[in-house]
Amino acid sequence: MGKKSRRPNRNKPKDIPAAASTAVAAPRQEETATVIATYNQLCASLDWAGLLELESEMSAIANNMDYNAPSSAGRINFMIGSAHKLLGGEGGIEQATLYYEKTNELAKKAGDNEMLSKGGLCLAQCYVETGRVEEAMDLYKSLCEEIGKESLHHEAILVFTGALHDNHEISRALPILEEYLGAIESSWGKRDQCTAYGLIATLYRGKNDFAKSNIYFERHLSIAKETKNVESEASALYGL
């Protein structure tokens, strides 16, 4: 992965807060640039465990940026929330929810619709996974009204509807994806198209509508072959 990222001393006891609101005081000004540079390296390499080692410092920096740079503060909260979500562990999803809620608050303040879309749909996913499905649907509807359905982040839509599927909410997930069929076919990239068709096919199969399920598995298979995605091709063949 190239040059190794700088990290805090691993032998030093970690000070990871129980929630985003419990962050320690921000590093001194002369330390902030170094901490942010390390954080950016960890984000670029998707080193989620390393990110959480900087959680306290970055949370404090984000709190100090709330007023003058809410978009940057929101992105910091988003990445820390994503680290908690992806690593899991005790309290992981609750932590992620807190950070995504803060992300949304800051994204709205900054008028950062891209981050509002990604953070909002990740928050909706957390709501689904913790049994708060009605809140998730309300949040999705509010995002559609606030920034426009066509502006929502493609991958985040797939993550959200995938969470609904995993929670056996077929009647909620399928209509959302059906609304995007035109956009999926005309403007989504091949990777997102492939994922979307596979998910739609699986949802129709869950409704015992095998004719429609086969149509979308065939589209899934066609794109998987075109992009030489062997794993996705195998998934489509298995579905068929």
Task: Give the three-class secondary structure for 11.
Answer: coil
Q: How far apart, in whole angstroms, are the C-alpha atoms of residue 34 and residue 235?
A: 44
What lies within 8 Å, CB to CB, of 108 at 6+ separation is 116
Burial of 127 per CB tally in 10 Å (0-12, 13-18, 19+): buried
> Hunting for tokens 């995605």 — which residue is that?
229
Which range (11-20, 21-30, 35-44, 70-79) has the least confidence?
Answer: 11-20
CB of 117 within 8 A of CB of 159? no
Model confidence pLDDT, tens digit, residues 101-138: 999 999 999 999 989 999 999 999 999 999 999 999 99
Sign of CA dihedral 232, 238, 239, 240: positive
**Cβ pair 26, 64 in contact under 8 A:** yes
Report how far Cα 169 is from the mean position of its chain's Cα atoms.
19
- Please report the pLDDT score of residue 29 as a whole number: 58
Is residue 233 within 8 A of residue 221, CB to CB? The reply is yes
pLDDT at 30: 57
Q: What is the pTM of this model?
A: 0.79
Segment 27-35 mean pLDDT: 67
Tens digits of residue pLDDT in 142-195: 999 999 888 888 888 999 999 999 999 999 999 999 999 999 999 999 999 999
pLDDT-based confidence at residue 37 (cuts at 50, 70, 90): confident
Residue 14 reports pLDDT greater than 60: no
Q: Answer whether 81's CB lies under 8 Å from 59's CB.
A: no
